[in-house]
Structure 1
Amino acid sequence: MTTPAQQPGAKDTAARRRRPARLLPERGPRRTLAGATFVNALGSGMFMSSSVLYFTRVVGLPMSQVAFGLFAGAMVGLVAGVLGGRIADRWGARETQIAVMLSGAVFMGCFLLVDAFWSFVLISVLTGVVFAADKSSRAPLVRSFGGDDPARFRAYLRAGTNLGISLGALAAGVAIQLDTAPAYLTLVGARALAFVGCAITLLWLPRPVPVEVPPLSGRWEALRDRPYLAATVLNSLMSLHFAVPTFLLPLWIVEHTEAPRWMVSGVLVLNTVLVITLQVAVSKNVSDPASAGSRMRWAGGAVAVGLLLMMAAGDLSMWASAALLLAATAVYTLGELWHAAAAMEYSFGLAAPHAQGQYSGVFGLGGGLAEALAPAVLATLALGLGRSGWFVLALVFLFVGCVSRPLVSWAVRTSPRPRTYEGPVV
């Protein structure tokens, strides 16, 4: 007599039931943190895609004032991220994250009441602080619950974040198509609710086990850690490329190639799909600064080749240009994935465990500066100088990728602070 598990098809049925679980981290803190991150990213995608239209078309602010307010919020947030990380290290990352999420809900709700320039700037600064503190205060949680394969978990979180942002952007597209005040107001309200949903989800997360603080540790030790600062600067320079698919490539396609205009959406979709599906696989075995340095070298080469292929698309006919742009985006995205894997390892692997929030705030400061400067740098070189500017950009990324491993290795060897990872850095 056969048991139900031995009956024909029972094994396949059990496999199908287990399959969705494989798409998520195992039950427990990792799945809870992943769920909270996804909810937050969903709201972020809604707001990022529609905020400028809301402020200009509903609130009635001119574009110049909107740009100033958003820039002021981003700049203040960069500094606040370091402070937020330190608070998380000292008072508890879980509690700090929940407080940050609830603050975000309140400040986002205030955007519904904004009707003048200075109130808009004030709320923009407050939300900028929230966005920066979110990243730095979440980092200790990611480190605490990373498990036996922290690189894989961090990669999963990045893939989930991109998925959430993409779905949020799709939802925002419906409101943008309607182009009515209630539609835009709904998106802002949904962003506030996403903050609340993230905070509620985090209530199910256990408190991380406290990390012992060494007796000689300083108050702002991340700002004096040479290996970490070296990795931060190198990552900041490499991060200039993140504006390629969202800023440089759309302008290049529309103004300098014969490719159809819908290719702007096509390359963005390809980039997003590749990041979501490949980030976990690409991040495999990136577990120390040495492997991170290798991935940075690969990233520099892939980004450089991708940029040169994008440049070459400007000299081809319509469909040849479109095909080359897709190939260029695929090559570039592979570099983006390698860079993300290396950056996550630098951010966590070189940080002092007891001060992960503070260290992540410093790392985010470098990335934020790159994000602010990238449009001007890319426009000046690629769009302003033409072909020679594209070559300069490619050489910069190739150079940064090649020097990352030896520079970080040298900084580690000459650093007085012992590192917590295992394995040599060569």
Structure 2
Amino acid sequence: MEALLPAGRGQRVIAMTSFVHSFGSGLSLAAGALFFTRIVGLPASQVAGGLFAGAIAGLGAGVYVGRWADRWGPKRVQIAVAACGTVVNTGLLLVHTFWAYLLVSLLSGAVVAASWSTLAPLVRGFGGPTPAVFRGYLRSVGNLAIALGAVAAGFAIQLDTRAAFLTVMIGRSLTYLLSGLILLRLPPFTLQDGGGAGRGWAALRDRTYLAATAVNAVMSLHFTVPTFLLPLWIVEHTAAPRWTISAMLVLNTILVVVLQVRFSRSIGDVPSAGRAMRRAGAALSAGLVLMALAEKPPSALAVLLLAAGTVAYTLGEIWHSAASAEYSFGLAPADAQGQYAGVFGLGHGLAEGVSPAVMSALPLALGLPGWLVLALLLLATGLACHPFMTHVSRPPLSLKSPVA
């Protein structure tokens, strides 16, 4: 266990709270939509509309709360966000109408976005000279926790009873509460003082950072491939058995858990992140082409193509995640990391909002030509990232007397 845990009390506390929070995310991702359709009785279209509205609400919340974290301290604000998450997710248990669901969805979306923008300063503060590597570790931990949460929610889905689903939803609220309590053990620290709290909305005036955010947002369109595009493609367009969906998700998760930290260690500055983004674009496009070729072959060959495509895609996903973490930290002033992370998350949130529509309009509607258009878009975006990033690099954050 000592070898698996990060060094230092601060990193271990952040890793623990991230694991608990991600486990709760796995619970809600697996069972949340089914809870509202099967138990509450809302139509699927209304559930989808609430999720979209929540994602839009989170776009602005992440920037505002990130700025508060810069001004009042990320530890304090992150604990407050966890407390709000506890209350909001408990409120989901009281939903019986669409309007109540919409209100709670808006609040929940704001909490999710705020969690990321307040976590980023903590990652930079305790990540040492290479916060992107620590972020890679947290991503590995998070993927494992999400998978375990989804497995736990699977029992409720199989039982398909109100009591089982309520247990899952209560469990999600408790993970918010527990993650906040764990953060109380985080050692106090002081960010390098460069006047970040008084910068105003510096991130919204930083053209280089906005360009990085925009390019990364386009690249982030691929994140719905394993959870949205691939399941529909396998069921509706290939001869592969349905269990292939779960197998590909497991393969994707295992690769991320095993390789994310290793890949992140090779990215220590903005130029190396640019090279990683080029590799990401190439790997993602290759993976998408292999997935597309699984449409017509017989079952066994289709499974092999899908597996090869998932491996290539996941390598690209890992490179992209590592590179984007370096951009997020390396291009942002240390003392304004919260608001900069909020802006960076704004681009990622927009990508999450429009990605299902892009996947439906291109690969699912057009078949192979649509897959090729998407693959070329990601390849070109990966190549375009390098000119935006390599000429800007900021010194890593130094801490002032952290308490062990």
TM-score band, normalised by shorter chain: over 0.9
Q: 1:420 aligns with which of 390, 395, 403?
A: 395
1:27 shift after superposition: 4.1
Contact 1:94/1:208 (8 A) holds in 2: no
1:33 matched to 2:17? no
1:217 shift after superposition: 5.8
Q: Which has the higher contact order (CA 8 A, sep 6+)?
A: 2
Q: Which amino acid aligns with 1:419?
A: R
1:184 matched to 2:154? no
1:234 matched to 2:209? no
In the TM superposition, what whole-angstrom CA distance separates every residue of 1:29-55 from its partner, at most 9, and x where no partner exists?
Answer: 100110011001111110111111111
Aligned length, in residue pairs? 397
Partner of 1:51: 32
1:247 matched to 2:228? yes
Partner of 1:273: 254
Alignment partners' CA distance in 2, 1:155 and 1:207: 23
Contact 1:41/1:165 (8 A) holds in 2: yes
Q: 1:364 aligns with which of 330, 345, 355?
A: 345
In the TM superposition, what whole-angstrom CA distance separates every residue of 1:299-342 from its partner, at most 9, and x where no partner exists?
Answer: 00000000111111112111011111111100110000000000
Q: Which amino acid aligns with 1:358?
A: Q
Q: 2:147 aligns with which of 145, 166, 177?
A: 166
Cα RMSD (Å): 1.5
1:72 matched to 2:72? no
Alignment partners' CA distance in 2, 1:283 and 1:391: 28
Larger of the two Rg values belongs to structure: 1
Partner of 1:204: 185
Q: 2:313 aligns with which of 332, 344, 369?
A: 332
Partner of 1:62: 43
1:71 shift after superposition: 1.3
Contact 1:141/1:208 (8 A) holds in 2: no
In the TM superposition, 1:114-193 aligns within 5 A as 114-193=95-174
Q: 1:101 aligns with which of 82, 88, 110?
A: 82
1:230 shift after superposition: 1.1
Alignment partners' CA distance in 2, 1:208 and 1:231: 29
Q: Which amino acid aligns with 1:121?
A: L
Distance of aligned partners of 1:419 and 1:150 in 2 relative to their CA distance in 1, 3 Å threshold:
closer
Distance of aligned partners of 1:162 and 1:227 in 2 relative to their CA distance in 1, 3 Å threshold:
same
Partner of 2:402: none
Contact 2:124/2:329 (8 A) holds in 1: yes
Partner of 1:11: none
Contact 2:334/2:396 (8 A) holds in 1: no
Alignment partners' CA distance in 1, 2:238 and 2:271: 40
Partner of 2:334: 353
Contact 1:288/1:421 (8 A) holds in 2: no
1:25 shift after superposition: 0.7
In the TM superposition, 1:276-425 aligns within 5 A as 276-409=257-390, 412=392, 419-420=394-395
Alignment partners' CA distance in 1, 2:384 and 2:52: 31
More moved, 163-172 vs 254-263: 254-263
TM-score (norm 2): 0.96
Q: Which amino acid aligns with 1:344?
A: A
More moved, 22-31 vs 214-223: 214-223
Alignment partners' CA distance in 2, 1:97 and 1:323: 44
1:214 shift after superposition: 3.3
Alignment partners' CA distance in 1, 2:383 and 2:259: 23
Contact 1:45/1:167 (8 A) holds in 2: yes
Partner of 1:15: none
Partner of 1:261: 242
Q: Which amino acid aligns with 2:390?
A: S
Alignment partners' CA distance in 1, 2:53 and 2:198: 33
Distance of aligned partners of 1:100 and 1:279 in 2 relative to their CA distance in 1, 3 Å threshold:
same
Contact 1:212/1:354 (8 A) holds in 2: yes
Question: Secondary structure of the residue that 2:190 maps to in structure 1?
Answer: coil
Question: Secondary structure of the residue that 1:22 maps to in structure 2?
Answer: coil
Percentage identity across paired residues of the two chains: 53
Alignment partners' CA distance in 2, 1:374 and 1:334: 20
Question: Secondary structure of the residue that 1:122 maps to in structure 2?
Answer: helix
Alignment partners' CA distance in 2, 1:158 and 1:122: 30
Q: Which amino acid aligns with 1:199?
A: G
